[in-house]
Amino acid sequence: MTANPNPVDIHVGSRVRLRRTLLGMSQEKLGNALGLTFQQVQKYERGTNRIGSSRLFLLSRILDVPVSFFFDDMAPEIASGQRGFAEAAQATFKQDDLAKRETLELVRAYYKIPDAAVRKRLFDLVKAIGGQTIEIDEPA
């Protein structure tokens, strides 16, 4: 048995953290909803402790996402079950731009803008400043 967390557990935990943060929910509030301490939520989010199926189902209800959400965007090498990717998955979790608090706060603030036209103009401005051409299917 290895001391490193399983890459799938790391990925699922990072998705819990992503959704919790997007909702503006603290670890303590999520822990209370689950009947756990915030420390246990931290362990889930790091992948240190594995989330059981019944608890994952409860998390999906509390965070208002389908269970499949926790497995979305999983890297192919993790999904294939190959061993030896724990370190890479942990590094991805720490460096993933989508998991940064700054990114999540920016997304929350963006969607609080009530006027869709203003959101679209802000989106276009950020694209221009970033020098990227991003195409989206739905209006911002």
Mean pLDDT of the chain: 82
Calpha distance 38→25 (Å, rounded): 12
pLDDT in tens, 43-82: 999 999 999 999 999 999 999 999 999 998 888 878 777 6
> Which positions of the chain have pLDDT values less than 50?
85-86, 89-95, 140
3-class state of residue 18 by DSSP? helix
CATH class, 7-97 region: mainly alpha
Domain spans of the chain, in order of start = 7-97, 100-140
